[in-house]
Amino acid sequence: MCSPGSLGDLGAGSGKGGGGGGSIRDAGGAFGKLEAAREDEYFHKLQRTQLKAMKEQLAREIEHHEQQAGHHQDVIARHQKRIEELEKEAKKIVKE
């Protein structure tokens, strides 16, 4: 990724990325700088929105997996109890 200092002044004309910046940005000056600032603001806001959505999705997934883990713990406890019951029955049969 390029550092902001390597691109020159934002809005001072066409960028160095190989494409034109549009007629306002090509002209440079105050309008070009304003347009560049708006563009930066848009992409920063978009990135914040995407990061927030990703964080919320991961939180939902964590909650889901915690619920599944709790369910699995319940099943494990039930199976262990059943094993204990079967062992008691087996001991009774051996004694008879």
- Structure confidence by residue, pLDDT tens digits, 46-74: 999 999 999 999 999 999 999 999 999 99
Q: Which two three-digit tokens encode residue 51?
A: 């990061």
Structural domain containing residue 30: 4-95
Quick one: pLDDT at residue 13?
54
Q: Which two three-digit tokens encode residue 52?
A: 């927030």
Query: Quick one: CA dihedral 47, 44, 27, 12, positive or negative?
Result: negative
Q: 0.85 exceeded by the pTM?
A: no
**How far apart (Å, rounded) are the C-alpha atoms in residues 1 and 42?**
18
Q: How many domains does the chain have?
A: 1
- Structure confidence by residue, pLDDT tens digits, 26-41: 666 888 888 889 999 9
Q: What is the mean pLDDT of the chain?
A: 84
